[in-house]
Structure 1
Amino acid sequence: MTTLHPIREADTDSLEQMLSMLLDGAVETLDVSPDLYDTAVDRYKEVGTWLGLHASPDYTIYPQGSFLLGTVVRPQTPTGEYDIDLVCRIPLHKTSTTQDQLKQRVGNQLITYRRWKQDQGHTDGPVSLESRRRCWTLGYPGFHLDVLPAIPDDEHQPHGILLTDKNLHEWQHGNPTGYADWFATRSELSHSLLEKRASIADVPVWHIRSTLQRLVQVLKWHCMTYFADDTDNRPPSILLTTLAGRAYRGEDDLFTALRNVLAVMPAFIEQHNGQWRVANPAHEEENFTDKWNEYPERRHAFNTWFGELTATMDNLSRMHSEGLDAVYSRLTKSFAPGPLQHSFTRYANRMKKTATQQRMSATGLLSTTTAGPRRRPQTFHG
């Protein structure tokens, strides 16, 4: 590993810029690649089209969760398969069906779809189909699609839905479209995001990650690492996303945004009549900390994780007199080292290239106008 000199503002990035680029580059490697994104979209669109033609034109399939929000992080599992959540919405009233009937209705159609793909000799169909607690899972190389059967929630129109859960008697409420709209509004507090999208018209919007999207990916990545051996107590990603979205104030620098968000996140965790509550901003009746009231150890686990991450960020913020190696070493004590190694190597090479250009400029071999000003590279998806 190449040892670099301590950070000096005169000849290199600030500490905040360095940390932002290291974290940004790391989570970029965990993001879904453009090719896999396109493949996943093609697959679920085909499923939706098939259901519309063979079941009913009223069947609709659309993404929800991290795939819709642009906050996907590759799971730290042996297969490393991306988990993509989809809603299969059927326009039925809840009095005309039960959760079991709806779940099986969608399942039967997916079974028929998979059989049709096989009978046609298509090699791009799902390699597996499995019934799970709330969904049907279609398996593909590198990812799987979790299809959640749903019906409209007449009391929360236009986007509210009711979801099935074989372990619960009551229908589960959701509003993934409304939540995505709220999250997009929070993301667009960043002026740099709007500037990036305006200046790169030929790049799809989902290629360009906002500071808030990257921030959420950092939180999810650290949480996955921290709870690698205790997944039962790992906070749900929707809770992290909601708290981050509420706390974000439009900062452009990733590290600065992360520290500021961590400083105020606890203020958005409420307690009413002894019950912990973080409401869904798109559906106030849904509580993302309902399990804390049933399993207090999950709240304690969240607080322990939160304290560890906050302490890590505070320690990093005081490393102004340290070099890149020391900063990298401190990061690897809290985050999975693999993605950081990739980001570190790329950043170190960039710094060496900049130093070389500066030395050449000083000897007159290369002018400063040829080298040009150093700019933070655009962050593209994948």
Structure 2
Amino acid sequence: MTDLKKEQFADILETLSENLSITETQHNAAVRSYNAVGNWLSKDDSLLKPFNPEIKPQGSFIIGTTVQPVNPEDDLDLDIVCELHGKKLHWTQEDVKNVVGEQLRSHMTYESLLDKEGRRCWTLKYRSDSDRNDKYHMDILPSVISQGYQILLEKSFSNLQKDDYESLKLSITDKESSNYSSETDPSRWYQSNPFGYAKWFMSRVQMYKGAVLKAFSLNEAVKPTPRYQENRLPLQRAVQLLKRHRDIMFTAESNEDIRKQKPISCIITTLAARAYQGEVNLSDAIFGVISRMESEIEWKEDHYGNRYEWISNPVNKAENFADRWNDSGSVRRDNFYRWLRQIREDLDIARSQNGMHNIAESLKKSFGNKVVVDTFTQIGDRSRTSTADQSNYYSKKEGIIGTASAASALISKVPAHTFHGKSTD
């Protein structure tokens, strides 16, 4: 592949991932909604008021890897942590979970949006309210944090290379914990570390070897009212593309049981981050990642000599993200490897195509018709603008148009065009 064609394909992938990102409107609607929830949980007559409940986003929302749903009518997933600065001494996990649920139910709107209680979270299904246009559901995870946690978090996020993940753990509610209804000491509750994971992931993102003018900020992402961050670095873009390909592939799966066991995002994100080697060009980044992801899976052996895959949580080595791959009747393992083979094949085919039309057609099956059409429309608009100011070059061999910076010996300058049928030369 020539440098020109590689740059062109990277530009296509970059524009595609931009179109997969949530919009500023979606971002602002989500922030308004979770801030409103936080205000309600901390209102003066709330049992939670003495513990200053704070609402923070977690997961893909704060690491910049959220993607639009395949079906525009489907919900975005918004994962939220409700942090309590302490609790009543006699409260167990169950008590904390119930108090949060009761406070949500005391709000007329939230009561109508509240789904049945989950294992760890309360879920507000905004789409169930016909008077609203929000297209997401909000999973609210109750947690208890130690004194000074917020200051610790800000300092930690300011130095992504410092390995202090352990200090960012949260004590959360988990109905499947054996001490759910009995233990009052939060340090003995189930420990989760969403912000430690976010820090680890962003440390991998910043392996990027190019000049960073304005990178995605974790500290900004967890502010009470974070601004919309449009910029993404190659690893973030690559993860978005991987997740979208996964979604398209398994949406098309006719067997519901197989469809529900698609590769989970934390496995895709973790393996991609471990496989990333700081590539600047998005095409190099995603092809490098998918070629190395499988080698990032560990193999372990049980007491009977049976070997099994282990994908450790980078901030909790004892947790295996692939722990359900060997469940009886599970197809999760097969689905992961089948998906990985498929995305390698699909991207290889796409980048081998000559001509923008052929590249577009090859990408539609993998990433969705509308988003690919929008992507190539935007690229076409940019190309016409560049042609008008004579900064485009055309490759006779490969049938592609690129910018002057990627020109090589095979390319000819494209004359400026009036778009009325005549060139200006």
Instruction: Give the TM bin, normalised by the shorter chain.
Output: 0.7 to 0.9
Q: 1:24 aligns with which of 14, 30, 36?
A: 14
Report how far residue 75 of structure 1 moved. 1.9
Q: Give per-residue Cα distances to partners, 1:218-243, cap 9 Å, x unaligned.
A: 00000001111343211111111111
**AA matched with 2:236:** Q
Q: Does 2:194 correspond to 1:176? A: yes
Q: Give per-residue Cα distances to partners, 1:182-226, cap 9 Å, x unaligned.
A: 11111112244622449xxxx957221111111110000000011
Q: CA RMSD in A?
A: 3.2
Does the residue aligned with 1:38 lie in a helix, a strand or coil?
helix
Report how far residue 77 of structure 1 moved. 4.0
Does the residue aligned with 2:68 lie in a helix, a strand or coil?
coil
* Alpha-carbon distance in 1 for matches of 2:84, 2:299: 36
Residue 76 and residue 285 in structure 1: after superposition, are their counterparts in 2 closer, same or farther (change >3 A)? Answer: same
Paired-residue identity, %:
32
Residue 286 and residue 96 in structure 1: after superposition, are their counterparts in 2 closer, same or farther (change >3 A)? Answer: farther
* Alpha-carbon distance in 2 for matches of 1:245, 1:350: 31
Query: Can you give the 5+ residue segments of structure 1 that lack an aligned partner in the other structure?
Result: 1-6, 119-124, 362-371, 376-382
8 Å Cα contact 1:87/1:149 also seen in 2: yes
* Alpha-carbon distance in 2 for matches of 1:373, 1:96: 69
* Alpha-carbon distance in 2 for matches of 1:22, 1:126: 44
Q: Does 2:322 correspond to 1:289? A: yes
Q: Does 2:299 correspond to 1:271? A: yes
Residue 207 and residue 353 in structure 1: after superposition, are their counterparts in 2 closer, same or farther (change >3 A)? Answer: closer
Equivalent residues in 2 for 1:1-382 (5 A)?
14-53=4-43, 54=46, 55-56=48-49, 57-77=51-71, 79-91=73-85, 96-112=90-106, 114-115=107-108, 128-133=113-118, 134-140=120-126, 141-152=134-145, 157-166=166-175, 169=178, 172-192=190-210, 194-197=212-215, 206-228=229-251, 229=253, 230-273=258-301, 274-295=307-328, 296-319=330-353, 322-358=354-390
Residue 335 and residue 15 in structure 1: after superposition, are their counterparts in 2 closer, same or farther (change >3 A)? Answer: same
* Alpha-carbon distance in 2 for matches of 1:193, 1:139: 41
**AA matched with 1:65:** G
* Alpha-carbon distance in 1 for matches of 2:392, 2:341: 46
Q: Give per-residue Cα distances to partners, 1:228-263, cap 9 Å, x unaligned.
A: 134321111111111111111111211110000111
* Number of residue-to-residue matches in the alignment: 339
Residue 315 and residue 108 in structure 1: after superposition, are their counterparts in 2 closer, same or farther (change >3 A)? Answer: same
Q: Give per-residue Cα distances to partners, 1:315-351, cap 9 Å, x unaligned.
A: 33433xx111111111123221111110011112322
Residue 248 and residue 96 in structure 1: after superposition, are their counterparts in 2 closer, same or farther (change >3 A)? Answer: farther
Q: TM-score, normalised by structure 2?
A: 0.71
* Alpha-carbon distance in 1 for matches of 2:114, 2:300: 42
**AA matched with 1:351:** S
Structure with the higher fraction of residues in helix conformation = 1
Specify which structure has the bigger relative contact order, considering alpha-carbon pairs within 8 angstroms and separated by 6 or more residues: 1
Residue 259 and residue 164 in structure 1: after superposition, are their counterparts in 2 closer, same or farther (change >3 A)? Answer: same
Report how far residue 93 of structure 1 moved. 8.3
Report how far residue 266 of structure 1 moved. 0.9
Q: TM-score, normalised by structure 1?
A: 0.78
Q: Give per-residue Cα distances to partners, 1:271-293, cap 9 Å, x unaligned.
A: 11123211111222221111113
Does the residue aligned with 2:78 lie in a helix, a strand or coil?
strand
Q: Give per-residue Cα distances to partners, 1:124-178, cap 9 Å, x unaligned.
A: x786222342321223412222101223599x85321244444665765420111
**AA matched with 1:314:** D
8 Å Cα contact 2:114/2:122 also seen in 1: yes
**AA matched with 2:95:** Q
Does the residue aligned with 2:381 lie in a helix, a strand or coil?
helix
